[in-house]
Amino acid sequence: MDRKCAEEGCERPAAVELHLPWADNRLVCAAHGRMLGREDGVVADPVGDGSSLLEGDESE
């Protein structure tokens, strides 16, 4: 079950769960996780085994 990034218009797989004090938690891709995780009070936790954090990983 591949989950997609919760950000509008993004089709990347979800790699990070953002814990937002002002809203519900969201699953986002690594790129959005890096950007949104910089906001005060946000905690970003990786989801799964971490393989979806590496875009274009063809080692499998």
pLDDT tens, 2-58? 789 999 999 999 999 999 999 999 999 999 999 998 989 999 999 876 554 555 544
Q: Answer yes or no: is pLDDT of 60 > 50.
A: no
What local confidence, expressed as pLDDT, does residue 17 receive?
Answer: 95
What local confidence, expressed as pLDDT, does residue 18 receive?
Answer: 95
What local confidence, expressed as pLDDT, does residue 50 receive?
Answer: 55
What local confidence, expressed as pLDDT, does residue 49 receive?
Answer: 65
CB crowding 13-39: b at 16 or more within 10 Å, else e? bbbbbbeeeeeeebbbbbebbeebbee
What local confidence, expressed as pLDDT, does residue 8 receive?
Answer: 95
